[in-house]
Structure 1
Amino acid sequence: MEETQEAVQLPLSAQSADKKHTKGSKMTTGALSGFKVLDLSRLLPGPFCSMLLADMGADVIKVEDPKLGDYIRWWPPKIGKNSGFHVVLNRNKRSLTLNLKAPEGKEIFRKLVKDADVVLEGFRPGVMRKLGLDYETLKELNPRLVYCAITGYGCEGPLALKAGHDINYLALNGVLSYSGKDGQPTLTGVQIADLGGGGLLAAFSIVTALLARERLGTGQFIDISMTDGALTWNCLRWGKFLADGKVPSPGDDFLNHGFACYNIYETRDGRHMSLGALEPQFWKAFCQTAGRPEWEQPHYFEPGPHQKTLQEEIAAFFKQKTQAEWIEQFKESDCCCEPILNLAEVMDNPQTQARRMVVELVHESWGAYKQLGIAPKFSLTPGSIRTHAPELGEHTDQILESLQYSREQLKTLRSKGAI
């Protein structure tokens, strides 16, 4: 039975939006509860990393410039006054505005570091050193500090100081060289280097360093290169290249449009179906459900000119019906044939709902919206959505008052542009 979800309005002292799904768990706090993260990063890689940590219970303080904050806040389209990107990426965090170029701002940050577990930043190499807030300086204040720097090309090498974006990182690490078909490379729909090579790898590395700290008693510096991180995603083609010596290219292999059994096919109504019948049992099931027993030949999984012929035949086959009709025909067949859904359909998909990957929330200003759910499901320490993405500087007074700053001092700091 499909589970229905009601929109949850999170109060200031918010409870988990996924509370009803974690009833009976032995711990009510996330696995990272009690860890404090100072996040200086902006845009996508760093905020995605700190979102993952915050979802698991970490107290993430988003340190932002008093004037502009994280630039992604202002990117259209917006939900209320905030960018939809910001709303998704910065849930469960507190926002502190701090001018790190002002002496008073540096002093506040150093005080926060003394009690922090993690500093996360995404500036070019050398920026934090110029501010006097680099790892070597901060570890003197807190030897147990884990410091993670996410950059495009890493902290060393000939490209270390060069600007770049996801497309450049994937171009230089080979991923784009064989992504595509008919010999033409293509862009990926998601930012693989930013998210996978950067944010996800950084979150894993931070948690690993925190575990190592419990054994060694000291923190350490983590150098995350988005180019390096996504380079490791070449593992399958890297291994094949080592074995056969053939440089990969678009459409040359069974996983990138080279084989008919693993491909995308257009339907009569202009939609598409995905076919991933790699193994013999799945290919057999597909051929049987399709009513095309003549396709069930051993050479279906061998390279050669016959693959193009088979692709053309299957393409013509899928053109005969609409996507909805194919969904109905293949729904009971275990042959790895599924429709390509758009995001609106994904949000309403029974599988997405069953996995609680859509959480319906209500904000007092923005109104109702659908937030991404939490992917890893922990049996004892589940993640939770406790608060909406913060307004710029929403928690500045709260955080500084915890450092014993008075109301009068806060007023002075604001007048100086330090917060």
Structure 2
Amino acid sequence: MDRPYGVLGRVLGHSYTPTIYRELAGLEYVRFEREPGELESFITGAEWEGVNVTIPYKQAVLPYLDELSPVAERMGNVNTITRLPDGRLRGDNTDYFGFKVLAESLGLELSGKRALVLGHGGAGSTCAMVLRDLGLQAGFVGREHHAGGPSALTYDELPGRADDVALVVNCTPVGMWPKCPASPCTLDPFPALEGLIDIVYNPARTGLMMQAEERGIPHAGGLLMLVAQAAQAVERYTGQPVDLAQVTELTERLSATEQNIVLIGMPGSGKTHVGHCLARLLNRDHVDIDHELEARTGKSCPEYIGEHGEDDFRRVETGVLSDVAARSGRVISCGGGVVQRSENYALLHQNGLICMIDRPIGELARKNRPITARDGVEALAERRMPLYRAWADLVVSSTDRAEHTAENLAAMLPPML
């Protein structure tokens, strides 16, 4: 039996990596969780063919390796170990290549300009090395100054001292699931900013990325880096190069697979029924926000609104959205009034493709809808329809049956794995 490829770490949770290796090269890829006392026997053993290395072993494995690539030598750590034909072990670091592909994907000419890297740990050092090799002047930002450390600025010192920064790269975990959306800082201190990179890849759009989006600044998340570094590892393992177009295509399909499909639209437009049908078509879990809210409060939505008022209902609804929309790969049906709180957009957009179900006003269901009964459907439509269209990435027309509407929407979605 062929020995597997895999990832070595102490505690390994959910990862996209097995899917990436399967899609790129059809490789069997497993998780090797090992305690520090088991490290030597694992590295010198014969149960694996090639292995990626993650925290806390990127430096701890060095004494057991026979040689290092020039990049790994420079960086002082490895994330990929290859068995050479003669049995010796070679350490490499493909994170350098992965971040280089990500930085170049912005398509910006930034040589000679100033960049700031948020965070000065191992990831920050790697990204700064790449940026300097690309000709940028790369410095660091940290929460505090470290004696003898590389941090040039603290976040409090940014105003007035970052006016010429052209690129910001976030290498901190701030904004990563499940504490999202969040940002280590605002982009306000960077009036000359031309591009933003966040190496976090879950959620799809971090708080920093959404700030950049609002300002019309080119930006990129970390999923491309993850796929690109895996592609170079595949090349090290198999000797067969992976085409960059394949890396880009896989990144796009993986992104589409992991993002939520979020349904919005007028009350009674069929979001729940279409959501059920779409979830079946895509083999995803379906979450109805109104049903989730009812489960948490122990009351139906009309009952809760009647007892506590609409403002309190909207507050609770936002809390439910914060939990539900932070996860990925779901179909989410929202209540008709979700667009009334602007903060809900970021919660849905961070990890989702927002789809509006457009149903003629005369066909909307009106039973057990207290706000529709109170305000009238025409008045609600006048207030909400512009918001639905502004929030929506896609608009699908309602058909005679929820199944048909779901099929039409599925055909509009980007290709998935």
* TM band (smaller chain): under 0.3
> Which structure's relative contact order is higher, taking Cα pairs within 8 Å and 6+ residues apart?
1
Q: TM-score, structure 1 length as denominator?
A: 0.24
Q: TM-score, structure 2 length as denominator?
A: 0.24
Higher helix share: 2
